[in-house]
């Protein structure tokens, strides 16, 4: 592979050759990429297992399976998505036919994180290619096996002047960010998101930032405790808690807290057994650095369940912490691991005080059977997206845009939203020549009065 500036200039030349714009060619490449990925299905599971002991079931449901759904969607709908969209014309531009053209940005940089290393690299890649761009993909350096496999797949399918996967860590990312891109799509932490935004600002490059944050989960006293606990345990401990939209902490109505804690303990044991380190379904923390970061959060806290740490194997058991202070280590940053702090509330003011203590979260969950309570929560707080009476599943409907707001990010994708993210919506008017209303032309004379009447009539 050549140097980064060379790859980019080759990609710009390739884009300028108009080759990426042919829909049939985009479809051919998408199908080829899908085929290669299908052929490598087992290798993908093996790589994820080697990287952080992710089970095949979780690798299918949260990486491979979703990627295939996105391929199918893009392949089936590409021609429709890419078609110029006719919009109603305006009396001010009469006679005309008005359209939105879907224009690829050009050279796109995609930087992916490690926590869903396959999904979060390939899903944006599918949509960037579908939209007609060239792509440099930078997978995460922390998931060596998956990133190596992604690179092999990309190299097998695409010429590097079309799509290139460049592996490396901060240094590589920094070099990539120093180049001039037409679009940057970044998934990762808030702190690196700010670095990406600064680099993009230098060239006025548009960005999507898919970031993280502390996503709250509110549970009132009208809920079915067992069902609620089962759903939360699933969403919190999936992927070892290393999910950007995992419930970061719970805010529980104090009337049911004691009983609910018992329900949580029961459901954790049902899912992972008495000793989760023996469960084939329980992943490990990505590396020692993160294991130590999480272990530190447990110091001086009231651990009421779990709390076992094995630095050597990067294992932390599913852990419940009771009533940490909002200033504690565990509440000061996104947890991103299998530790669940439990806070309680007695009034809606308590909920507001806790949630507004933090930046706008990526997700918010509310469990309640009271409609007015739910609506009040949904309308009061600003957050990326959320679910009522479950967790995570808003990720699963491609019709819903997925993204953050404020510190949890900007922009959104999934399904057609992803295609739109990688397309500039170019406004086009095709003017008719059969009549040329004279009102706009000087000399204006008495035309202002007529114009004002027109504006009033048509507004």
Task: Give the nearer residue to ligand NAD in terms of CB position, either 184 or 250.
Answer: 184
List alpha helices for 3-117, DSSP H: 4-16, 23-39, 41-52, 56-59, 65-82
What angle do helix axes 4-16 and 170-177 make, rounded to 10 degrees? 40
Give the pairing type, strands 339-345 and 385-388: unpaired
Residues in 216-245 at the binding interface with ligand NAD, rule: CB under 6 A: 244
Residue (of 287, 300, 341) closest to 114 by Cα position: 287
Q: Which is nearer to ligand NAD, 189 or 269 (CB)?
A: 189
Q: Using CB under 6 A, which of 7, 44, 78, 192 touches ligand NAD? A: 192
- Per DSSP, the three-state class of 423 is strand
Residues 6+ apart with CB under 8 A from 366: 217, 218, 219, 220, 373, 374, 377, 378, 386, 388, 389
169 binds ligand NAD (CB under 6 A): yes
Judged by beta carbon, residue 74 or residue 392, the one nearer ligand NAD is 392
Q: Which is nearer to ligand NAD, 4 or 227 (CB)?
A: 4
SS3 letters across 224-261? CHHHHHHHHHHHHHHHHHCCCCCCCEEEEECCCHHHHH
Site string for ligand NAD, 309-338 (x = CB under 6 A): -------------------------x-x--
- Select the residue interacting with ligand NAD from 124, 132, 212, 401 (CB under 6 A): 212
Q: List the x/- string, 92-111, binding to ligand NAD by CB under 6 A.
A: -------------------x
| Positions 137 through 156 that interact with ligand NAD (CB under 6 A) | 138, 140-141
- Indicate the residue among 8 and 261 with the shorter CB distance to ligand NAD: 8
Residue 165's nearest CA partner among 207, 202, 125 is: 125
Beta strand ranges found along 88-245 (DSSP E): 96-104, 107-111, 134-138, 163-165, 183-187, 207-210, 216-219
Q: Is 28 helix (H, G, I), strand (E, B) or coil?
A: helix
Which residue number places its CB atom closest to ligand NAD? 212
392 to 431: interface string for ligand NAD, x by CB under 6 A: ------------x----x----------------------
CA atoms within 13 A on the CB side of 394: 25
> Which residue's CB is nearer to ligand NAD, number 345 or number 383?
383
Q: Which of 122, 211, 331, 339 binds ligand NAD (CB under 6 A)?
A: 211
Interface size with ligand NAD, residues (CB under 6 A): 28
383 binds ligand NAD, rule: CB under 6 A: no
SS3 455: helix
Q: Minimum CB separation from ligand NAD for residue 334, in Å?
A: 5
Site membership for ligand NAD, residue 187 (CB under 6 A): yes
Q: Does the annotation mark 210 as catalytic? A: yes
Contact of 285 with 52, CB cutoff 8 Å = yes
Q: Closest separation between CB of residue 402 and ligand NAD, Å?
A: 7
Which residues between 342 and 381 bind ligand NAD (CB under 6 A)?
362
Can you tell me which of 93, 174, 300, 346 binds ligand NAD, judged by CB under 6 A?
Answer: 174
Which member of 63, 123, 210, 334 is catalytic?
210
Are 54 and 48 in contact, with CB atoms under 8 Å apart? yes
Stretch that binds ligand NAD, among 74-82, 173-181, 250-258, 340-348 (CB under 6 A): 173-181
Determine the 3-state secondary structure of 406 from DSSP.
helix
| 208 near ligand NAD (CB under 6 A) | no
Q: Are 262 and 221 in contact (CB under 8 A)?
A: no
- In the complex, the smallest distance separating the C-beta of residue 373 from ligand NAD, rounded to whole angstroms, is 27
Q: Is 294 a binder of ligand NAD (CB under 6 A)?
A: no
Quick check: 232 and 223 in contact, CB under 8 A?
A: no
Cα-Cα-Cα-Cα dihedral sign, residues 366, 370, 372, 373: negative
Cβ(404)–Cβ(210) below 8 Å: yes
Nearer to ligand NAD, 170 or 201 (CB): 170
State which of positions 39-78 bind ligand NAD (CB under 6 A). none
CA distance 82 to 238: 36
Per CB under 6 A, the segment of 6-14, 87-95, 166-174, 264-272 that binds ligand NAD is 166-174
The catalytic residue positions are 210
Which stretches of the chain bind ligand NAD, using CB under 6 A? 111-115, 120, 138, 140-141, 169-170, 173-174, 177, 187-189, 192, 195, 210-212, 244, 334, 336, 362, 404, 409
């Amino acid at each position: 592979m050549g140097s980064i500036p060379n790859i980019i200039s080759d990609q710009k030349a390739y884009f300028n050759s108009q080759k990426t714009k042919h829909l049939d060619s985009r479809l051919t490449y998408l199908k080829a990429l899908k085929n290669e990925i299908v052929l490598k299905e087992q290798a993908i599971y093996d790589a994820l297992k080697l990287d952080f002991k992710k089970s095949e079931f979780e690798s299918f449901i949260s990486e491979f399976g979703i990627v295939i759904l996105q391929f199918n969607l893009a392949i089936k709908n590409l021609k429709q998505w890419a078609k110029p969209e006719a919009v109603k014309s305006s009396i001010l531009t009469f006679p005309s036919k008005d359209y939105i053209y879907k224009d690829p940005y050009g050279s796109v940089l995609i930087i992916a994180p490690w926590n869903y290393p396959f999904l979060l690299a390939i899903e944006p890649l599918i949509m960037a290619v579908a939209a007609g761009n060239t792509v440099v993909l930078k997978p995460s350096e922390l998931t060596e096996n998956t990133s190596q496999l992604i690179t092999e797949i990309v190299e097998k399918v695409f010429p590097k002047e079309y799509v290139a996967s460049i592996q490396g860590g901060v240094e590589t990312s920094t070099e990539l960010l120093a180049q001039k891109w037409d679009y940057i799509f970044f998934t990762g932490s808030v702190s690196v998101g700010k670095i990406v935004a600064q680099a993009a600002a230098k060239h006025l490059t548009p960005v999507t930032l898919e970031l993280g944050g502390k996503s709250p989960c509110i549970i009132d006293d009208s809920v079915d405790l067992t069902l609620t606990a089962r759903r939360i345990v699933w969403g919190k401990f999936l992927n070892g808690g290393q999910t950007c939209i995992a419930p970061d902490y719970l805010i529980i109505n104090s009337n049911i807290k004691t009983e609910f804690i018992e329900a949580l303990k029961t459901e954790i044991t049902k899912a992972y057994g008495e000793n989760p380190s023996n469960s084939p379904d329980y992943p490990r923390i990505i590396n020692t650095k993160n294991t130590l970061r999480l272990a530190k959060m447990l110091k001086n806290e009231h651990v009421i369940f779990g709390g076992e740490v094995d630095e050597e194997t990067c294992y932390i058991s599913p852990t419940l912490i009771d009533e940490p202070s909002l200033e504690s280590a565990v509440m000061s940053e996104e947890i991103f691991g299998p530790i669940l702090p439990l806070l309680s509330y007695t009034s809606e003011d308590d909920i507001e005080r806790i949630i507004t203590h933090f930046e706008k979260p990526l997700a918010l969950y509310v469990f309640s059977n009271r409609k007015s309570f739910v609506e009040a929560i949904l309308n009061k707080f600003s957050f990326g997206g959320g679910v009522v009476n479950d967790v995570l599943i808003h990720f699963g409907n491609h019709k819903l845009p997925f993204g953050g707001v404020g510190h949890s990010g900007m922009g959104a994708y999934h399904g057609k939203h992803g295609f739109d993210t990688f397309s500039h919506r170019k406004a086009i008017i095709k003017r008719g020549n059969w009549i040329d209303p004279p009102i706009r032309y000087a000399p204006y004379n008495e035309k202002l009065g007529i114009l004002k009447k027109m504006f009033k009539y048509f507004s």
